[in-house]
Amino acid sequence: MDYLKSVVPSQLIAERGSNLIVINPGSANVRIGLAHQKVPYSIPHCIARRVEAGSKRAVVDQMLKDQTTLLQQMEREKAYDTIAHLLKIPFLDEEAANNSFSRKIGRVDGYAPHQSRSDTTWTNVLEKNSNSLETKDGKKLANTDHEESCSDEYKYKEFICGEEALRISPTEPYCLRSPLCRGHFNISQDYPLQQVIADLCDIWDWILTDMLHILPKERDLCSAVLVLPETFDNREIKEMLSIVLRDLRLSSAVIHQEGLAAAFGNGLSTACVVNIGAQVTSVICIEDGVALPSTVITLPYGGEDISRCLLWIQRHHQSWPNINTDPVVKPIDMLMMNKLKESYCQIREGEFDAVAIVESYDEGKTVGSHKTRLSSLNVPPMGLFYPTLFVPEEYPPPTCAWFNDYEDMLEDTWHMEFNRRPEMSDGMYLGGNGGISLWENYQAYPTRLKKDDDVGLADAITTSILSTGMRFLHFSLPHSVIWFMYILLNNLQAA
């Protein structure tokens, strides 16, 4: 203990960095690596499990809808016009008058780089079915109870994690699931808490084994730092801590707030931390090394909404090829849109176009490559400031915290009485520490952390900073925030 009190952080990393695992879980990606590594691994936070024929192939996000009302479409058009005016982008009628050529260029069958990659685009879901087991002395024994295989030599993998899970063909018997959704456990009627925990455990165990090469027998020598966003509830944090200590069998673990880690990592004790995630954007103020809970603001949109907006704008400009691209239903399409966003989208004035290769992934067909001119690439990131551009159905509120920590006597739920449906008997309720197991019998109402869903990022930052009591910044802050975010997003490579 005296060593830990006196040691310098750089010395600690040099001496114990190879045994210290840093885990930063997110809704779409998990960043994980050893403390002495300069850059962590960023891996899609999902898992695909083998299912029987006729079962569900994916757990669909019930809160995400792709149908909008006429009023919402009008609001989206209005937001686009506002942004186009600010960025000095010509309107569609002006572009049509100035451009005499068609934006769409069609399919490129002879594009060599993509053709060489087409055969490996879909994940190989088969593995060799070993007919023998090796004993400790290297001798082989017959394996008579191996699982049912799709052939004598190969069988389906039981589960696949990471980006390979997103690239599984829709024809394969796999169910894709994401254990986290919008900063919370992705619990629903089709995805119970026990399965969420099991999926988290398998994903993290696969990363430790295959990516970091830390075998189970070596993990008792390792410790973990859980860097968690401010969106998680107490019980969610306890469950993840249990996974690290009980299931992954690491020797010790410590929890760190994401906002504090960002501030300390940049050598700051006071800062306003803006975290633009894939599905949620959060703002929190750090003052004298302390995260202020009253300043936390969570906005229900992020990088994936920017990617979907990019697709809508291309179709709005009629610059997208005539292919069936649906990032809501097809994960591989979302993967492609995210890469296009990271490669081309940035905030700058004027008309900003680029020529890119987009791919079509249709069931039963080979992967097609299409060369097209993408238009108004500086508009989608501005949706962070004008969220009506994303459409409410495409940025639903964070998932409802349907369970709370009933073992925490300091939490308000200790004295809370839950309303129940009149047709339900007393025997269907559990005791105080049991939580709620019959989730499907409850009507969950989403918890909105803001009164209005259309709050932009600049207003959220202003509100968060002013809630610290710094009223003298009231007049100069909004303009400074917008200018700061302009510089920040201009250098943003991935959200």
DSSP codes, 77-135: HHHHHHHHHHTTPPPHHHHHHH--S-SEEEE-TT-HHHHHHHTTTS---EEE---EEE-
Residue 495's SS3 state is coil
Please provide the DSSP assignment of 430-441 as one string. --TTS----GGG
Please provide the DSSP assignment of 128-195 as one string. E---EEE-TTS-EEE--SPPP-SSSSEEE-SEEETHHHHT--TTSSEEEE-SEETTEE--BTTB-HHH
Residues in Cβ contact with 116 at an 8 Å cutoff, skipping those fewer than 6 apart:
none
Return the H-helix or E-strand segment holding 4: helix 2-6
> pLDDT at position 440, please?
40
pLDDT, greater one: 161 or 111: 161
> pLDDT at position 214, please?
94
Beta bridge partners of 140: 134
pLDDT-based confidence at 98, cuts 50/70/90?
low
DSSP-H helix ranges across 215-301:
234-242, 258-265
> pLDDT at position 328, please?
84
> Is the per-residue pLDDT at 148 higher than 60?
no
**Average pLDDT value for residue range 90-114:** 48
- The pTM assigned to this predicted structure is 0.78
> Is the per-residue pLDDT at 81 higher than 70?
yes
How large is the C-alpha radius of gyration of the chain?
Answer: 25
Return the H-helix or E-strand segment holding 283: strand 281-287
pLDDT-based confidence at 366, cuts 50/70/90?
confident
Which residue, among 176, 379, 194, 399, has the nearest Cα to 279 in the 3D structure? 399
pLDDT (tens digit per residue) in 319-346: 899 999 999 888 999 999 999 999 999 9
> Is the per-residue pLDDT at 147 higher than 90?
no
pLDDT (tens digit per residue) in 275-318: 999 999 999 999 999 999 999 999 989 999 999 999 999 999 88
Angstrom distance (rounded) from CA 404 to CA 435: 7
- Amino acid, single-letter form, for residue 128: K
Residues in Cβ contact with 471 at an 8 Å cutoff, skipping those fewer than 6 apart:
none
Angstrom distance (rounded) from CA 8 to CA 474: 39
Sheet holding 368-374, edge to edge: 104-107, 368-374, 354-360
> Is the per-residue pLDDT at 40 higher than 90?
yes
> pLDDT at position 386, please?
93
CATH code for the domain defined by 70-116+301-398+451-490? 3.90.640
State the maximum Cα–Cα separation within the chain, in Å, rounded to a whole number.
79
For residues 251 and 242, the answer to whether their CB atoms sit within 8 Å is no
Interior angle at CA 451, CA 449 and CA 453, nearest 5: 80
Tell me the pLDDT of the chain averaged across its residues. Answer: 77
Angstrom distance (rounded) from CA 183 to CA 356: 32
Return the H-helix or E-strand segment holding 315: helix 303-316
- Amino acid, single-letter form, for residue 74: M
pLDDT-based confidence at 118, cuts 50/70/90?
very low
Length of the chain: 495
Beta bridge partners of 31: 24, 42
> Is the per-residue pLDDT at 218 higher than 90?
yes
**Average pLDDT value for residue range 53-75:** 68
> pLDDT at position 237, please?
94
How do beta strands 252-257 and 223-228 pair?
Answer: parallel
| Lowest mean pLDDT across 271-275, 345-349, 375-379, 488-492 | 488-492
> Is the per-residue pLDDT at 48 higher than 50?
yes
The structure tokens listed for 115 are 């053709």
Beta bridge partners of 126: 156
> pLDDT at position 95, please?
55
Domain boundaries, the chain: 70-116+301-398+451-490
Angstrom distance (rounded) from CA 64 to CA 388: 15
